[in-house]
Amino acid sequence: MVLTSLPDWATSLALILGAVLAALLFYQLLAALARRAPGLAHPFLQSLIARTRSAARTAFVVVALALAVRAAPLPARTAEWIDHVLLIAAIVLGGWLLRAAIVLASDLYLRRVEGIGGDDLRARKHVTQISILRRAAEVTLVIVTAAFVLMTFETVRQLGVTLFASAGIAGLIAGLAARPVLSNLIAGIQIALTQPIRIGDSVNVENESGTIEEITSTYVVVRLWDLRRLVLPIAYFIEKPFQNLSRESTETLGTVVIHADYGVPVARVREKLVDIVRSSPHWDGKTAKLEMVDASDRSVQLRALVSSATAGANWELRCEIRERLIAFLQEEFPGALPRGRAEITTLPQRSS
């Protein structure tokens, strides 16, 4: 009786406010029951409920508003406009909830491989696959959600129907414009499945050495040895050659070249190399040998071949070997260092 005696706008406002308040109270009741329900005790469900609290509350409000608008004595034009806004809100909320579920599922999965170790190939494989596929799913979800929102507008829907019907120049232009996005998206899925690179891989690319730091849906970040970042499109690693130093294993072989005189005691230098690598924390205990690989008219070339668990450790080991071997020759065999030779010939004096 009270509502019927009010003006239409007051009745509509009262219905809308009452619906919003009822939706919030109903949500609080369901949330309290969900926290105590034994069937919802799974960590994934509890985390999903916690992360989607705002979206779920908004969804209850949207549903309540939709029911209130239909019951309120609103002008047809106004009711149609509000219904359209609520439809867009429902589509966005659906995308929001799906994205939260995707992010949560990927985070929970990655927690299972955290204990494997950062340098383990299995761990890096899982991290790379989940990271790329999650970003691809997020990008696809955003595009699909935006498409559904745009299709709620009559003009956009007619434009889409026209483009599909004609399949002419406009469709070709749209396809060319979307080619970079689609190519990177497809390249990201290829990388996730075939694994030419993984997060943490040591690579040589564009004449630079570094480590794969981040793989997104459109680009790859390579952390260089001097802490610079090289950013490359993700399609680069599908279309162009590059060196992956840790494709099957993080173990790496490296060489140190020493130029010496012909009188160098190779056996003593070989013994010194073994002493150096045994005292170094960067050697993995597998490969350490010294060979004379070349000889010119002025000097000989000694090459030390050593192994390490990672590319970074191998770099440190090679620098240490180079420094200590040269210091060893300077202290113990200075005559074994490269030197130039000259022959002086005395011509006979002519008699006057």
Of 87, 111, 135, the last residue of a domain is 111
Give 37-44 contacts, CB < 8 A, sequence gap 24+. Answer: 43/108, 44/104, 44/105, 44/108
**192 phi and psi, to 5 degrees?**
-65, -35
Alpha carbon of residue 202 to chain centroid: 14
Cβ neighbours around 331 below 10 Å, total = 8
CB 302 within 8 A of CB 290: yes
Query: What distance in Å separates the CA atoms of residue 137 and residue 143, rounded to the nearest whole number?
Result: 10
Q: Is residue 63 part of a domain?
A: yes
Q: Provide the residue range defining the domain that includes 315.
A: 252-336
Assessment of whether the complete model's pTM goes beyond 0.95: no
Highest-confidence range of 10-24, 118-132, 267-281, by mean pLDDT? 267-281
CA distance 222 to 234: 11
Q: Does the residue 162 lie in any domain?
A: no
Total domains, the chain? 2
Of 95, 111, 127, the domain-final residue? 111
Q: What is the pLDDT of residue 153?
A: 78
The Cα–Cα gap between 187 and 233 comes to: 9
Domain boundary among 89, 111, 133: 111
- The whole-chain average pLDDT of the chain stands at 78
- Over residues 274-312, the pLDDT tens digits come to 999 999 999 998 999 999 999 988 889 999 999 998 878
Identify the CATH number of the domain in which residue 294 sits.
Answer: 3.30.70.100
In a domain, 117, yes or no: no
Higher pLDDT, 37 or 221: 221
Residue 87 within any structural domain of the chain? yes
- Please check whether residue 164 lies inside any domain of the structure: no
Name the most confidently modeled range: 83-92, 147-156, 314-323.
314-323
Could you tell me if residue 326 is inside a domain? yes
Distances (CA, A) of 165 to 112, 150, 151, 161: 49, 18, 16, 6
The whole-number average pLDDT for the span 193-211 is 86
Q: How many Cβ atoms are within 10 Å of 269's Cβ, its own excluded?
A: 21
In a domain, 198, yes or no: no
> Given this model, what pLDDT does residue 3 score?
47
Residue 288 in any domain: the answer is yes
CA 247 to chain centre: 16
